[in-house]
Amino acid sequence: MFFRQSVRQTNINMANLKLGSSDIKALLATYESKQRQLQFELDQTKKMIRSFKSALPELEAAEAAQMASLAEVAVLDEVAVAPVVAPKRKRGRPPGISTKKMVSNIPAKKQTRKKSGKKGRAAGYRLSEYDLLVFKALEVTGTAMINSEIVTFIEDDQKSQGKAADADYIQTMVVRSLQKLANRRDDILKVPYEGRGRAYALPAWVNNKGELKRKHSRK
C-alpha cells in the first residue's frame, strides 16, 4: 500500500516538476533500499516465529509438571493421615477350637502366573511421515540436533527431491513429532546443549550416566 501511494505521488511530482533521469534513478535507489529493508524485517520476523514455536512445547511441558507438583502438595496438606491402632489379641488359640482345625482353615497360597504378551514401544504403533523424517535427520547427521536444525534438514531433503518445502508447515509437523517421540515416548531423548533449550538424540547415543557420547555431540 505504501509503495503504491509512493508511486502515485511520484507520478504527480514527475508531472509537476518534470524530473530528470538522474532524479528518477535516485528515487529508484531509495525505493529499492526500502524494499530490501522490509524484506529483511520479514525474514527476521519469520525466524522469531520459528524460534517461539520450537521453544513452546518444552515450556508447556515444564509448566504442566509444575502445576501437577503444586496440586499434589496441596492435596497432601489437606489430607491428615490418622494412625491405625491394631486391636490387642490374647495369646493362644480361641476356646473350643483345636490346633488341627485352625491349620485346616488356613487358605493355601495361590500361585499367580504372569501373562505372556508382547509389550514394547513398537507394539501397535505406526510412525508418521514426519516421525520418520526426524529419525532420518538424526541418523544421517549422526549428531544431536536442535529443532531448527531438524527443520532445515527436512527442507533441504524435500527440495533435493523436487518437492515443495513449506517452512512453516514443516516447523509445525516437526514440533508435533518431537512432542510425541520425546515427551510421551522414549524413542528419542532430550540432551542439553550450549544454547538455550534442548537438543534431541537417539537413545543409543547416551551412556549409562545419561550423558551424550562425544562422537555424537554437536559440532
The CA-based dihedral angle spanning residues 28, 29, 34, 36, taken in that order and rounded to the nearest 10 degrees: 110
Provide the pLDDT confidence category of residue 214 given band limits of 50, 70 and 90.
Answer: confident
Tell me how many degrees the CA angle 148-183-172 measures, rounded to the nearest 5. Answer: 40
CATH of 129-216, one of 1.10.357.10, 1.10.10.10, 1.10.150.310, 3.30.360.10: 1.10.10.10
pLDDT value of position 135: 92
The H or E element spanning position 190 is strand 189-192
Does residue 136 have a pLDDT over 90? yes
CA distance 86 to 84: 6
For the residues 103-122, what does the mean pLDDT come to? Answer: 46
Residue 196 carries which side chain, given as an amino acid letter?
R
pLDDT value of position 123: 45
The CA-based dihedral angle spanning residues 47, 51, 54, 57, taken in that order and rounded to the nearest 10 degrees: -140
Cα separation of the two ends of the chain: 45
| pTM of the full structure | 0.46
Provide the pLDDT confidence category of residue 38 given band limits of 50, 70 and 90.
Answer: very high
- Pick 116 or 142 by higher pLDDT: 142
Which of 146, 145, 151 lies closest to 167, judged by CA?
151
For the residues 18-26, what does the mean pLDDT come to? Answer: 87
